């Protein structure tokens, strides 16, 4: 349906659907409820993830329930990101922000906090600018904050993408990254001979993934020239619910990257 509808209708329809879900999942009297840190709304529960044919259902079996915000569609990773944003508002720029993929949940947080941003993507028709993350048209040191969630598993060469992200990041800027991570893997698993969708689902969890990251992703980022701070979802308040999922490889770690030394009282973990 998203491929058929005109661009100008997509955003309003998504908003209408979110409003309907907000009413359906609203917190009732006596319910403990859950809080979405992205849109700031409270619900009786989050929604279960709808496991479609493009996913490996086995990897969702234990982690798909009570994970998706009914209104803004946030995943656990988005709520972890906004948890970090809430704790570090003074460190975030009010402008000079770019986001790969027009992620509605993160946009809701930016809108609520008066941040000006640009959305970019190679394929998403609702994005402001068409951009190839491996060959960006932006000058060096353009952006003060870059949001890049679950992008690197899709691109042909993630190392080129990381170099480009470092190039367009300001010296005092922040790059926020998340990637699918299989904790049973020590390092990146990729195989260019795997091209069929059904085989990609089997090996990488999703039909448009070309790799799966492992436990050394922080090391990869450091070797790419970044200082790294890890935001751990385990530290979120209980009311935010669901810090891993909807797939078992949707990790609860968010990587905050800078090109200089990290100035943070909490060290490299928060």
For the cut 70, the answer to whether the pLDDT of residue 65 exceeds it is yes
> What value does the mean pLDDT of the chain take?
90
Q: Locate 267 and state its tokens.
A: 């060290």
Looking at residue 8, what is its pLDDT? Answer: 54
Q: When comparing pLDDT for 48 and 238, which is higher?
A: 48
Looking at residue 201, what is its pLDDT? Answer: 96
Looking at residue 241, what is its pLDDT? Answer: 67
Looking at residue 265, what is its pLDDT? Answer: 37
Phi, psi (deg, nearest 5) at residue 252: -100, 25
pLDDT for 102-155, tens place per residue? 899 999 999 999 999 999 999 988 899 999 999 999 999 999 999 999 999 999
| Residue % of the chain over a pLDDT of 90 | 73
CB 82 within 8 A of CB 130: no
Q: pTM of the entire structure? A: 0.90
Q: Residue 234: which pLDDT band, with cuts at 50, 70 and 90?
A: confident
Burial 210-235 (b: 16+ CB within 10 A, else e): bbbbbeebbebbeebebbbbebebee
CB 96 within 8 A of CB 89: no
For the cut 50, the answer to whether the pLDDT of residue 97 exceeds it is yes
How would DSSP label each residue in the chain?
-TTTS-HHHHHHHHHHHHHHHHHHTBPPTT---EE-TTT--EES-PBPP---TTB-GGGTTTT-TT-B-TTT---HHHHHHHHHHHHTGGGS-SS-EEEES--HHHHHHHHHTT--EEEEESS-TTSSEE--TTS--SPTT-EEEEEEES-TTTSS-HHHHHHHHHHHEEEEEEEEEE--B-TT-SS-EE-TT--SHHHHHHHHSBTT--EEB-TTHHHHHHHTT-EEEEEEGGGS-GGG---S-SSTTS-SEEEEEESS----TTTTB-
The domain spans of the chain are: 76-258
**CA 22 – CA 17 distance, rounded (Å):** 9
Looking at residue 70, what is its pLDDT? Answer: 96
For the cut 80, the answer to whether the pLDDT of residue 264 exceeds it is no
Looking at residue 270, what is its pLDDT? Answer: 39
For the cut 90, the answer to whether the pLDDT of residue 194 exceeds it is yes
CB 261 within 8 A of CB 228: no
- Determine how β-strand 129-130 pairs with β-strand 143-149: unpaired
Q: For 23-27, which contacts have Cβ atoms below 8 Å and span 24 or more sequence positions?
A: 24/70, 25/70
Fold of 76-258: Rossmann fold (3.40.50)
Looking at residue 6, what is its pLDDT? Answer: 53
pLDDT for 170-191, tens place per residue? 999 999 999 999 999 999 999 9
Looking at residue 30, what is its pLDDT? Answer: 77
């Amino acid at each position: 349906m998203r491929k058929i509808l005109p661009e100008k209708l997509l955003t309003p329809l998504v908003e209408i659907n979110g409003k309907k879900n907000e009413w359906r999942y609203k917190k009732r009297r006596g319910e403990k409820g859950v809080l979405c840190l992205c849109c700031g709304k409270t619900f009786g529960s989050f929604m279960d993830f709808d496991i479609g044919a493009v996913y490996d259902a086995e990897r969702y079996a234990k982690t798909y329930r009570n994970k998706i915000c009914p209104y803004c569609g946030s995943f656990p990773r988005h709520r972890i990101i906004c948890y970090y944003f809430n704790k570090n508002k003074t460190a975030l720029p009010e402008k000079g922000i770019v986001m790969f993929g027009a992620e509605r949940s993160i946009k809701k947080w930016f809108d609520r906090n008066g941040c000006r941003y640009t959305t970019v993507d190679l394929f998403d028709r609702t994005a402001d600018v068409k951009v190839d993350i491996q060959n960006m048209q932006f000058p060096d040191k353009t952006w003060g904050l870059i949001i890049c969630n679950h992008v690197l598993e899709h691109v042909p060469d993630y190392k080129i993408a990381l170099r480009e992200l470092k190039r367009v990041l300001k010296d005092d800027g922040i790059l926020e990254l998340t990637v699918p991570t299989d904790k049973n893997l020590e390092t990146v698993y990729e195989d260019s001979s795997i091209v069929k969708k059904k085989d990609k689902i089997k090996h990488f969890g999703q039909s448009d993934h070309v790799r799966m990251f492992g436990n050394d992703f922080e090391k990869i980022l450091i070797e790419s020239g970044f200082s790294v701070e890890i935001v751990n979802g385990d530290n979120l308040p209980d009311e935010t619910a669901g810090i891993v999922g909807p797939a078992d490889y949707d990790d609860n770690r968010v990587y905050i990257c800078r090109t200089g030394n990290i100035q943070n009282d909490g060290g490299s973990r928060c």
